[in-house]
Amino acid sequence: MLRFANDLRVYLYREPVDFRCGINTLAVLVEESMRLDPLAGAVYAFHNRKYDRIKLLLYERTGFWLLLRRLEEDCFV
Which pLDDT belongs to residue 58?
94
Domain ranges of the chain: 10-70
Which pLDDT belongs to residue 20?
92
| Alpha-carbon torsion (67, 23, 39, 16), positive or negative | negative
Whether the full predicted model's pTM is greater than 0.95, yes or no, is: no
Task: State how far the Cα of 75 lies from the Cα of 57, in Å rounded to an integer.
Answer: 20
Q: Which residues of the chain fall short of a pLDDT of 50?
A: none
Which pLDDT belongs to residue 37?
95
Cβ contact 39:26 at 8 Å: no
The H or E element that residue 70 is part of is: strand 63-70
